[in-house]
Amino acid sequence: MRKTSARGPDTAGGERVLILSAGVGSGHNSAAAAVQEACAARDDIAEVQVLDVLQVSSVLYRALLGKGYFVLVEGAPWLVEWGYDLSDPPFRRRGPIDPWTRANAVPVIGAIRRFRPTAIVCTHFLPAQLLASLLLRGVIDARTAVVTTDYDFQGLWLPGAFHALFVAREEGREELMALGLPPDRVAATGIPIARQLDAAPARDTDEPPMLLISAGATGGDYAVSVVRQTMHMRTPFTATVVCGRNDALRQRIEQLVASAGDRYSVLGFTAEMPQLLRRADLFVGKPGGLSASECMAAGLPMVLVNPIPGQEVRNGDYLLEQGAAVRCNTAATIGWKIDEVLREPGRLQRMQVAARRIGRPDAAADVLTGLLDGPFRPLVVTRAAQKTIHAASEQRLVAADLTGPSSLVRLVDSAAGSTVALLQAQELGDLQRRYATPNGDLVLQRGQAPVSLRWEARRLLRAMLRGDDALPVRVEGLSKPLRVLPG
């Protein structure tokens, strides 16, 4: 008989952490780099590897997902917004990943097998969905984490199996719990960002405010119009314009501001962004999840311009709600808008306080702690439960209010106290006939029994048992408070 283990894969030589990202924009890879940096601060991690899954995919697949997205952003932003809203409901798709994605995932699966990770962190939904499939098939034996990179939670990020899900803010966690997800599997950590510098040096109050303008992220013509409008401001200021690797844009802006003397400093790609964030008084640019998180951690309020429809608009809504940003809906009023912020006594200072209040500089470390110290067994959401969650979302219902056969129930590991499965009430029948105990709990076991299990139940059992022969669980409805062990 196999020895029962409650701790998961052997980590005697230290954890082996694999970080999976996808280079659709820079934010997902930046979050992956932040988690990698946080790994270096832990003594229990022996090796860490980062893999951009698109870089090992076919050229066509990489072009369509990576470059294709930004072509739509520039040429058909309304289509981007439509696609975002269409894919927003959780579990809109409940089947296996499509054949094309599966074919492009073969190199990723090979990399996972070669590295033999004990923990996997996903900073993009593509590898998160792949890992769910691998967990359910018994291909991997590692703790898996899904780490979102925007302030609003999008249903596309919710896979059918995972160990921990980390969202950017408490409202996202509340949303998922309202849909039935157990509170012991979802944490609001913030978005992982690079390690922050020490507190910003005290500014000379006699110096004019410094604007940090992210021109490279806003696109060529729009970036030029942003800088041009600041030249009409009446309030004294200085500005640093960062153009990234767009040399043509940098040259255009240098020519534009040549007549302004030393008021503007125009930079290309720079490794000094952390220092610039600490020295600046106001950031002007797009509200990407990583950019916004870095600004908030630095206590730097934002002037939001030209957000991408969907996630960036929602990021901006959150920052506006918290008082840490203002938004310009037209380039013609950007200078006036910044003037309004700088001229109103105390307004900039209040915005800076608001930014510091919602900043989460330790998000990357918190993600690692939550994953490595969290449950060994994954949470499995059956396809029937996914159907209930999707329907509840579409009908604007709270899952705890559902009744009848399609309502949700949880299976909770009796020893560890962690939720291991979320399923429809009517799915309990097979499990109860086979594994019921006199007190109404279940003892899930390997091996044959007179009552045959359906395919979905077999898949569920395989994922929950992991390397064990038996697992005592108790059944809980959503209205019953979940017991979580301290620590």
Concatenated DSSP letters of 443-472 = EEE-S--SSPPPHHHHHHHHHHHTT-SEEE
Sequence-ordered list of residues with C-beta below 8 angstroms from that of 371, at least 6 positions apart, any chain: 119, 121, 143, 145, 163, 164
pLDDT at 237: 94
pLDDT at 205: 67
Domains in the chain: boundaries: 15-193+366-477, 210-360
pLDDT at 485: 36
| CATH architecture of the domain with range 210-360 | 3-Layer(aba) Sandwich (3.40)
pLDDT at 312: 93
pLDDT at 458: 76
| pLDDT-flagged residues of the chain (< 70) | 1-12, 66, 94-98, 100, 198-205, 216-219, 447-453, 455, 479-487
pLDDT at 238: 95
pLDDT at 100: 67
Q: 285 is written with which tokens?
A: 């640019």
> Rounded to whole angstroms, how far apart are CA atoms 44 and 53?
26
Residue 438, judged by CB atoms within 10 A of its CB (0-12, 13-18, 19+), counts as exposed
pLDDT at 102: 74
pLDDT at 70: 72
pLDDT at 487: 36
What global pTM score does this model have?
A: 0.90
CB 191 within 8 A of CB 287: no
pLDDT at 7: 46
Strand-pair category, 119-122 with 143-147: parallel
Beta strands in 332-469 (DSSP E): 379-381, 408-413, 419-424, 442-445
Q: Looking at beta carbons, which pairs linking 196-204 to residues 24 or more positions away fall under 8 Å?
A: 196/274, 196/297, 196/298, 196/361, 197/274, 197/275, 197/278, 199/278, 200/278, 200/279, 200/298, 200/299, 201/278, 201/279, 203/281
